[in-house]
Amino acid sequence: MTDETLGELSDREYPLLALVRRHGRSGAHYLSIAVACEVISTFLSFADVFLIGLGIDALFNDEPFAVPLLPQAWIPTEPLDLLVFVTGLLVGLNLLTNLLAFVSEYGFAVFTQRFLHEVRVGEFDAVQRLDLGFFDGSRTGNVISVLNDDVNTLDTFFNVIVGAALWISVTLGSALVYMTALNWQLALVVLLSAPIIAGLNRWFSGVLEPLKDAVREERGALNARLETNISGIDVVKSFTAEEYERNRVADSSLDVFESRLASRRTSVRQSPLNRLVVGAWLLLTLAVGIYWITVEPPLFFAGTLTAGQLVPFLFYLERLTLPLKHLSGVIDHYKSSKAAAKRIDGLTNAGKSLGASDGTDGDADPDAAPDLELDGGRVEFERVEFSYPDSERRVFDGLDFAVEPGETIGLVGSTGAGKSTLVKLLLRFYDVDSGAVRVDGQDVREVSTESLRDAIGYVNQEAFLFDGTVRENIAYGAPEATDERVEEAARIAGVHRFVTDLPEGYDTRVGERGTSLSGGQRQRLAIARAVVGDPPMLILDEATSHVDNETELVLQENLDELTADRTTFVVAHRLSTVRDADQILVLDDGEVVERGTHEELLNRDGRYAKLWRIQVGEVEGLRV
């Protein structure tokens, strides 16, 4: 898959609603209270002008002061008492609307933060469980953009836009209700503008959606570019490529600029057109009303119209311009939020579309799959066929071999022969296309991924460390490990003495990615992390490829203890690392071309023997 298809992976017509259903249940009562208070508060905020209009007619036009739901017996008949009564009503309404508005705002805030917390944690967990094939085709910066920028966009949506959209809807509805109560005939004139306004905004909504999708994708691409460049800053500097990278970032930034400008160019036209329509209807209504009051009911109108009705009516009509002015902004932000929600939902759906094996999908239900039952750790590859996602090249085409419990197996061969891929299939980072990988007779696809990986200690050539203490990094392999077990694992990995010489010993922080340590030190800590849980199987994938000779010697000296009673796979370019292995498999183009001990393979004088002679300097070269 490519970075540009995250939004397309969403199969939801209403992705925002889908996210709320998935992550918003715990705060749904806060949202319900917030919506109810916002509706009541907004509706009551229009009552003041209505009451003033009734008061004007009661005081100056001898009309009765009648308020729906208010008993007539409560209403004074004397002018001064009525004035005091109306004033009290207005003060009470103002206090009530402000109280309800506060409760509404607080409810939206609590719901939003709970919802965003659930989204961040839930979507991050979904990303962790995606098959590695997803990350092979997606840039890290684009994934981070979804988990950060897109989630933050939802913060604005629920904290501001939902409330604004609700306010606009209730304001328009309330204005029409009050206008109908004042004079239903004039209200019909106003309703004639509704189809025009609705059609106008529907057209803008359809035009803006793809533009907002493009903005989100371009921002994700820019974030991915920035993340990649900063991660490789040492390479950039070593090749004096600052100007080249600046131009590439500038190109990505220009794409964001152009996509945003195209979106903004469309959205800025919406508000003036809405105001133009409402302004035209305001003038029409004013003309009809004045003619009605001063001359006679025009056209098909009948009855009387008072100044106490026309003035509030025009006020409500004028109030329609404010929500319509903000309507374009709400639609604009809604489209941005919908695009963000599509990318978030698409990130979740990536597991389904790619066949994730880490618990999001796969052959077995992760909750129903039984745990791996170990009986020594016998590993079998049965006629395994495998190709990486989006690749037509076969890495394995009928790979077939077995490893007995407790054996140490060396895996050697040229780059691209399939050594690291083999152990990734055992770990179920990827699933085989056909055939099977079995541990003690159990297909790894039919047991829980967690139990499988708990049984395997894994060290790769990168030796990635987290920003934390030495103790935390070692115990990462077994969070329940005691301090004594952490130190024992460090001794097995040959790193205990080094750690005790650090300023704070095991509590010394290693820095982001372990940058405060040397490559050899990081590698030994990674090995300690792999064995701290005492796993019955162990994988050392190029564990000595980036270390100095001294560190390699320490690792070799400790190899017997590391591999004791464990089924162990050692992937190596340095053949000295696997010299003492029980069996050595020589891979070439996805096939096992030789198998035997070090001495047996040397005596056979095949490919392994040639590789060995190159490394000890007996021949000048061999294409590998």
Tell me the pLDDT tens digit for each residue of 272-294.
777 777 777 777 777 888 888 88
Q: Cα separation of 593 and 587, whole Å?
A: 6
pLDDT of residue 238: 58
**pLDDT class for 445, splitting at 50, 70, 90?**
very high
Q: Which of 107-116, 280-289, 569-578 has the lowest mean pLDDT?
A: 280-289
Torsion sign over Cα 222, 228, 231, 235:
negative
Place of tokens 């105001």: 275
Q: What is the set of domains in the chain, with CATH numbers?
A: 14-348 (1.20.1560.10), 374-455+538-547+567-619 (3.40.50.300), 462-535 (3.40.50.300)
Looking at per-residue pLDDT, the higher value among 123 and 435 belongs to 435
3-state secondary structure of 162: helix
Q: Cα separation of 361 and 296, whole Å?
A: 74
Looking at per-residue pLDDT, the higher value among 267 and 442 belongs to 442
3-state secondary structure of 592: strand
**pLDDT class for 513, splitting at 50, 70, 90?**
low
pLDDT of residue 239: 61
Contact 586, 608 (CB under 8 A): yes
pLDDT of residue 574: 79
Phi and psi at residue 587, to the nearest 5° = -100, 145
**pLDDT class for 96, splitting at 50, 70, 90?**
very high
Residues 6+ positions from 79 with CB-CB distance below 8 Å: 59
The residue ranges of DSSP E strands in 444-486, in sequence order, are 456-459
Helix pair 270-294, 307-319: axis angle to 10 deg: 170
Segment 143-191, tens digit of pLDDT: 777 777 788 888 888 877 888 888 888 888 888 888 888 888 888 877 7
Q: Cα separation of 622 and 624, whole Å?
A: 6
Helix pair 47-60, 28-45: axis angle to 10 deg: 20
Q: Cα separation of 458 and 437, whole Å?
A: 17
Torsion sign over Cα 395, 401, 405, 407:
negative
Contact 178, 316 (CB under 8 A): yes
3-state secondary structure of 207: helix
Contact 217, 194 (CB under 8 A): no
Segment 358-377, tens digit of pLDDT: 443 444 455 578 999 988 89
Q: Cα separation of 452 and 459, whole Å?
A: 16
Q: Which residues pair with 75 in a beta bridge?
A: none
b/e for 412-451, b at 16 or more Cβ within 10 A?
bbbeebbbbbbbbbbbbbbbbeebebbbbebbbbebbbee
pLDDT of residue 363: 43
3-state secondary structure of 245: helix
**pLDDT class for 550, splitting at 50, 70, 90?**
low
pLDDT of residue 623: 41
Q: What is the DSSP string of 510-539?
A: --GGGTTS-HHHHHHHHHHHHHTT--SEEE
pLDDT cut 90: percent of the chain above it: 16
What is residue 70's DSSP assignment? S
Looking at per-residue pLDDT, the higher value among 143 and 580 belongs to 580
**pLDDT class for 237, splitting at 50, 70, 90?**
low
Q: Cα separation of 208 and 265, whole Å?
A: 10
Rounded average pLDDT over 475-504: 86
Rounded average pLDDT over 28-42: 91
pLDDT of residue 208: 72
Torsion sign over Cα 511, 513, 514, 519:
negative
**Chain mean pLDDT for the chain:** 80
pLDDT cut 70: percent of the chain above it: 83
